[in-house]
Amino acid sequence: MRLNVSAHLPTSPRGHRTPLLTLTAVFALVGGLLLTSSSGAEAAADPIVSAGKPATASSVESSSYGAEKAFDGDPATRWASAEGKDPQWLRVDLGTSTAVSRVKLTWEDAYAKAYRVEVSDDGTTWTPIAQETAGNGGTDDLTGLSGKGRYLRVYGTARGTSYGYSLFEAEVYGVPDGGQPPTGAFTVVAAGDIAAQCTASDSKCAHPKTAKLAQQINPKFYLTMGDNQYDDALLADFKKYYDKSWGVFKDKTRPIPGNHETYDPAGPLAGYKSYFGSIAYPQGKSYYSYNEGNWHFIALDSNSFDKTEQINWLKADLAANSKKCIAAYFHHPLYSSGGHGNQPVSKPVWKLLYGAKADLVLGGHDHHYERFAPQNADGKAVSDGIVEIVGGMGGAEPYPIEEIQPNSQKRISGPYGVLKMDFTDNGYSWTYVDTDGQVKDTSPKYSCH
């Protein structure tokens, strides 16, 4: 069923249609059969819930046509997929479970002849809520929908042209759980152990692929958990490798150093400091803190956890914090099932964080993904414990899982990817997404202590 289908929009300045990505997060509420639950009048009354939300796609034609362009409210910008390939998808993260009543798609000349609109609670299992098999472009206004999920995607299965899929706007209307979206919600992308000494010209080079994925998610900002540049973190290597991938969004990055940043022959952290400058030293030290929403973030240098200066600074920082939720990140994880294993140097810091009721710790060092149940610094599972994530899958060669630690809930070694972290005023959750755009793991939803 298609309603209010308008004539084709003018062709793009390039003179041909562009590909539509399967909207996997913003259109996961409109795929398959069209189920009716609310009238057109009710749908029209529901607010738009997708504007400015984090979006991803199966592919993009270029960085000028990112997934976020379909949700920016600007009718002149658009998302466009790679050309000549089926299927493709575009998805949006609505931030919380939402009852979707309407989806309005404004196609560029490159439209979908056949597609589904689908919704999902976890970004992995999808339920169709609408389907088109004879699309002709223009505007598809799908009303009277009945479906619920946090993610919505448009999944294109047949192109209407020889090019691809492209949407000027993808608008999702509905009612979030509780009637209102979470206040203070924002998304962060995180990864550690990133830039090997290779470039995108090498098909096996991973960090350009994780950078592309990170950029498509379009978060509020990016975190790195150390070992940003291999092998010795020389300034010349930062410029030659990291800068060509993750350096594209350097101004939105909040980095910390790893042990490889200390190997620079010019001096420990010399290349790191020269490359990042005040971005990595906003308070004049290699460690710092900042606030976002109801969260206090603490960026630490685990190379110098044995230095009283940083420990005293951390104590003072925690004492001065007024935010409800606390997240810390540093390179050496206290607990890890990877080749490097547990890093006792981080235990005193964990004790301070636990005493301050911190919620989350992110680390790298071991090149795999792992999440742990809440625990204290002694490794005891406790309800008020800190959740730890090892996220060293940003581009360096993966390490195998060797000795599974107590309280480890999920371990993945092999795929490269990023953490897509979703924060609200009262809690957080995340997904581990690989470079093919597939969600490999979805966390529980945690409330702040």
Tens-place pLDDT, residues 207-251: 999 999 999 999 999 999 999 999 999 999 999 999 999 999 999
Residue ranges of the domains in the chain?
A: 40-177, 186-447
pLDDT of 410 over the 60 cut: yes
pLDDT of 290 over the 50 cut: yes
pLDDT of 30 over the 80 cut: no
pLDDT band (50, 70, 90) for residue 406: very high
- pLDDT of 312 reads 98
pLDDT band (50, 70, 90) for residue 17: very low
CA 372, 98, 184: angle at the middle one, nearest 5?
65
Number of C-beta neighbours around residue 395 at 10 A: 30
Q: Is 319 left (phi over 0), alpha (psi -120 to 50) or beta?
A: alpha
CATH topology (fold) of 40-177? Jelly Rolls (2.60.120)
Q: What percent of the chain has pLDDT over 90?
A: 83
**What are the structure tokens assigned to 403, written together?**
């000795």
pLDDT band (50, 70, 90) for residue 42: very low
Q: Please state, in angstroms and rounded to a whole number, the distance separating the CA atoms of residues 27 and 287.
A: 40
Look over the chain and give the mean of its residue pLDDT values, rounded to a whole number: 90
On the CB side of 407, CA atoms within 13 Å amount to 21
**What are the structure tokens assigned to 74, written together?**
């600007």
Interval 272-285 mean pLDDT: 97
CA 50, 441, 169: angle at the middle one, nearest 5?
20
- pLDDT of 3 reads 38
- pLDDT of 182 reads 57
Residue count of the chain? 449
- pLDDT of 15 reads 36
Looking at the DSSP assignment, which residues form a beta bridge with residue 12?
A: none
Q: Please state, in angstroms and rounded to a whole number, the distance separating the CA atoms of residues 201 and 147.
A: 43
**What are the structure tokens assigned to 391, written together?**
């996220």
Interval 391-413 mean pLDDT: 97
Q: Is 40 exposed, middle or buried (0-12, 13-18, 19+ CB in 10 A)?
A: middle
Fold match between domain 40-177 and domain 186-447 = no
pLDDT band (50, 70, 90) for residue 180: low
pLDDT of 18 over the 70 cut: no
Position 149, amino acid: G
pLDDT band (50, 70, 90) for residue 45: low
CATH level 2 (architecture), domain 186-447: 4-Layer Sandwich (3.60)
Handedness of CA 144, 147, 153, 155 (dihedral sign): negative
Q: Enter the pTM of the model.
A: 0.67
pLDDT band (50, 70, 90) for residue 185: confident
The residue assigned the tokens 């900042």 is 290
SS3 375: strand
- CA distances 358 to 184, 307, 332, 362, 388, Å, are 19, 21, 17, 12, 11
pLDDT of 315 over the 70 cut: yes
- pLDDT of 181 reads 54
CB of 364 closer than 8 Å to CB of 227: yes
pLDDT of 262 over the 60 cut: yes
- pLDDT of 233 reads 98
What tens digit of pLDDT does each residue of 80-124 get?
A: 999 999 999 999 999 889 999 999 999 999 999 999 999 999 999
pLDDT of 378 over the 90 cut: yes
Q: What percent of the chain has pLDDT over 70?
A: 89
93-97, 270-274, 277-281: lowest mean pLDDT where?
93-97
Interval 127-137 mean pLDDT: 96
Interval 31-57 mean pLDDT: 62
pLDDT band (50, 70, 90) for residue 5: very low
What tens digit of pLDDT does each residue of 429-449 get?
A: 999 999 998 999 999 999 999
